[in-house]
Structures are given as structure tokens and as C-alpha cells.
Structure 1
Amino acid sequence: MQPHGFAVGQSVELSPGKYDSNVPRGTYTVLRLLPNDGADREYRVRFQQDGHERVVRESQLRSGPAPFFR
């Protein structure tokens, strides 16, 4: 099984599929890596704007903005 491509706490950008029109695009935080024996790993993520959580596939994600430190 392939390792997950994103880590817990990482910010990611979600690009919903054509059948996910009600899922908002934007920045999410990875909360949990989910076990999966398929080729597309799954994650539990939280939308940063409203706190809503959902399960998404790795193919729907890309690296989010880097954290800003002063």
C-alpha cells in the first residue's frame, strides 16, 4: 500500500469533482489519515472557513498555501 501524500495538520486545497457541486472549494486542514486499500487514499479534512468536516480522496487534493510566520 502506498503511503499518504499529506500529513495531519497540513493545509490542502480541495478541488471537488463534477458530482460534488455542493462542496466548497478552498483551504482545508487534514485531521486524520484514513485506512484504505484502494489506489486513492482518503483523509478526514476540515474546511477552514466554517469548520465543516468531510472525507475526501487524495486525488481531490493538492498542497495548500504555506503557513505564514513572522
Structure 2
Amino acid sequence: MQHPHCFSVGQSVELFPGKYDGNVPRGAYTVLRQLPNDAADREYRVRHERDGHERVVRESQIRPGLASPSR
């Protein structure tokens, strides 16, 4: 049975890299794509909001981001 992705394209998320993820910067990212896979830990292509670099991350590495205050 397929597990649905928890995050949507365009959603802001916070990345929490694991201890084996090298120098991947923590912080705010935007979800660019939901990647197809059969594993329980879904994957996403995300872009760092500050430096613009894109990377593939696992669902277990990200949490919903803080919504920007609308004023």
C-alpha cells in the first residue's frame, strides 16, 4: 500500500539534517517536487530559501515551516 506524501509542492519546510548528512545547511526550504518512490520515508526535491541550492531530502528530515506573517 502506498503512503501519501505529507508535504505539498510550494510548501515551506524546515530541514533537520542527520549527523551523516555532511554540511547540508539547516533552515527554511521550499518543496519543488514530490519524488516517486516505494519506501515509507518519501522523498522531495527542495530549494534552500537563502542560498538557492536544490537537494533531495527524506520526509523524516523535514517539518512544516513557519508561515510568514501576513501583514
Specify the TM-score bucket, using the shorter chain as the normaliser. over 0.9
Query: What's the TM-score, normalizing by structure 2?
Result: 0.94
Match of 2:18 in 1: 17
Q: In the alignment, which residue of structure 2 is the partner of 1:37? A: 38
In 2, Cα distance between the equivalents of 1:20 and 1:36?
Answer: 20
State the superposition RMSD in angstroms.
0.7
The runs of at least 4 consecutive aligned structure 1 residues that moved more than 2 Å come to none
Deviation per residue, 1:36-69 (Å, 9 max, x gap):
1011000000000010000000000001011322
Kindly provide the amino acid, as one letter, of the partner of residue 13 in structure 2. V
Aligned residue runs from structure 1 range 1-70, under 5 A: 1-70=2-71
Distance 1:33 1:57 in 2: 10
CA distance in 1, matches of 2:8, 2:39: 18
Identity among equivalent positions (%) equals: 74
Q: Taking structure 1 as the reference length, what is the TM-score of the superposition?
A: 0.96
